[in-house]
Amino acid sequence: MKGRLIALDTLGGRKAAAMLEDGVLTDLLVDPDDDTTPRPGTIFRAICQRPMKGQGGMMLRLPEGTAYLRRGRGLAPGQALLVQVTGWAEEGKAVPVSERLLFKSRYAIVTPGAPGINLSRRIRDEQARMRLLEIAHAVMEARDDSTGLILRSAAEEADEDAVAEDTESMRDLAHKVLQEGAGNTPEALLEGPDAHLLAWRDWPRPDLFAEAPGCFAEHGLDDRISTILGPKQPLKGGGFALIEPTHAFVAVDVNTGPDTSPAAGLKANIALARDLPRLLRCRGLGGQIVIDFAPMPRKERRQVEQALRAAFRRDSIETALAGWTPLGNFELQRKRERLPLDDLAP
């Protein structure tokens, strides 16, 4: 289909959300199969356990399991503090958390401890900016100056009452959680969003919305999801890539397929570079990523690297391009913001 479709259904008995744009699966969210796994966005009252010497971090005790805070300076064992889960923990490792709390909804982000009222840079229309600033000041003036607010780009085209109501709801939620934060025992204060709520909160407005049970199959999403979760991914132009996660890193191997022309390697490599953010995002892959590109002259590396940088610049997940290795591979470091979906692979 043409346009954007967002569908909410289940996958393997777990809540799932899929976005289709002009017939291409561009995003996929799936909940974990274990309800005890803390989702990103969950807020805990945690207890400091022990500093990580040489790393500057602190291990924290949660109601179930442990967490790791990168910044441990000024903290003492036994001290309670509020933290928010920032990503999915690798198997056997502590949950990554931050002291910076964000209360995020579709139109607003409330930032305790970071005062100030700001608008998304994507909102460029001056009249819209003035209108939204008036709403923001009217809602936030009822609270102290230590809490900040960011209005998201989705607020630009939204109804004014909806923006005000959403902002006020996040403001009050932040105030409530901070009040409940006092104490000396570990406790979960706010659950992170599930796949359906994340889709509503972060994805753009669709041309078609589906949420009835079985809507994945009805709109042909089951086959697309099965394909993207498999190791072999077709590329534009006839090439293909093999994407296989290991314990150490994610290996990406680019192949030219049936194309035997002199430019086959460059064409396949650029096709992979342009599509890689989508492929990683839909499969929830992060950490260290090593790409073994198809053979090409060294002088063509610059074109491929430019295509990679342009593609990841448009991606919402933080990714650092480390560069070429002596063996001619390319390395990336990607934030583990998504849940890996390897257990759902066909």
Task: Give the residue-averaged pLDDT of 217-238.
Answer: 94
User: Rounded to whole angstroms, how far apart are CA atoms 275 and 294?
Assistant: 15
**Mean pLDDT score of the chain:** 93
> What is the per-residue pLDDT for 142?
64
Statement: residue 231 has pLDDT above 90: yes
> What is the per-residue pLDDT for 20?
96
Architecture of the domain spanning 43-100: Beta Barrel (2.40)
Between 262 and 271, name the one with better pLDDT: 271
Statement: residue 206 has pLDDT above 90: yes
Beta-ladder partners of 103:
110
User: Rounded to whole angstroms, how far apart are CA atoms 282 and 250?
Assistant: 14
> What is the per-residue pLDDT for 104?
96
User: Rounded to whole angstroms, how far apart are CA atoms 231 and 238?
Assistant: 16
Count of beta carbons in the 10 Å neighbourhood of residue 259:
15
> What is the per-residue pLDDT for 141?
81
* Element spanning 83, H or E: strand 80-85
Architecture of the domain spanning 229-344: 3-Layer(aba) Sandwich (3.40)
- From residue 122, alpha-carbon distances to 61, 111, 200 in Å are 39, 19, 19
> What is the per-residue pLDDT for 103?
97
> What is the per-residue pLDDT for 182?
86
pTM for this structure?
0.89
User: Rounded to whole angstroms, how far apart are CA atoms 52 and 62?
Assistant: 17
Lowest mean pLDDT among 80-84, 112-116, 274-278: 112-116
User: Rounded to whole angstroms, how far apart are CA atoms 193 and 15?
Assistant: 11
The region that residue 120 occupies, defined by phi over 0 for left and psi between -120 and 50 for alpha, beta otherwise, is beta
Statement: residue 346 has pLDDT above 80: no
- Report percent pLDDT > 70 for the chain: 99
Report domain extents, the chain.
4-31+198-218, 43-100, 103-180, 229-344
**Confidence at 144, pLDDT banded by 50, 70, 90:** low
Q: 171-194 pLDDT, tens per residue?
A: 999 999 999 988 889 999 999 999
**Confidence at 52, pLDDT banded by 50, 70, 90:** confident
Q: 57-111 pLDDT, tens per residue?
A: 999 999 999 999 988 788 889 999 999 999 988 877 899 999 999 999 999 999 9
- Report percent pLDDT > 90 for the chain: 81
